[in-house]
Amino acid sequence: MKKRKSCKKLAAVSAAALLLTGTLKVEHASAYFTTYVSAGGSQVVRLGSKTEIHEDVSDMTKHISIQNTSQIYDCFVRVKVFYGGGLKISYQDKSESGNLWSYSQNDGYWYYKPILSAGESTELFDIQIGDLPEDFDKESFNVVVIQECTPVVYDEDGNPSADWNTVYTEYQKIADRSGEGAGAK
């Protein structure tokens, strides 16, 4: 009888301890399931360069300038020109020195050599169609210019360079591009 009383006592104490422990845990769990947080507002974050091309056409010549519209990031820029076959196209760097734009035979791009600082624009670059046939429809004049930019990358010595495997076009990052394709000089 004594053994039975002792077992009942032990069972009662164990049940009380379990109940007390469960009550403590339920309180924390209840708080977890009933607490919430809400937030409002937004903040635009731009990570990278953004450029905008400006094109004016006069006398069968496209005058091109590219503006770095980023507020803080410097970048390098390049352009590629596409046009219909059979036309003679000439290019002219309109900067004072005449050597800020250079053509790459490897990938068909025209590169603007200086770093384009935030908010700045390139010097003008002209693309002119010459030796037009008499029956040429000037309204069908179509020279497509593709522009790309890449952030300025600095090496361990602080020298700037361009990594053209990382380019930005219209806010979209395009990785691992080698710039191959049909370009014309």
Number of Cβ atoms within 10 Å of the Cβ of 95? 16
Res. 81: pLDDT tops 80: yes
- Cβ neighbours for 154, distance < 8 A, ≥ 6 positions apart: 160, 161
Higher pLDDT: 185 or 14? It is 14
CB contact at 8 A, 101 and 73: no
Domain encompassing residue 88: 51-175
Res. 183: pLDDT tops 50: no
Does any domain span residue 43?
no
Q: What is the pLDDT of residue 177?
A: 47
Res. 106: pLDDT tops 90: yes
The whole-model pTM stands at 0.64
| Mean predicted confidence (pLDDT) in 41-51 | 65
* Pair (21, 112) in one structural domain: no
Res. 100: pLDDT tops 80: yes
**Residue 150's beta-bridge partner residues?**
76
* Pair (94, 3) in one structural domain: no
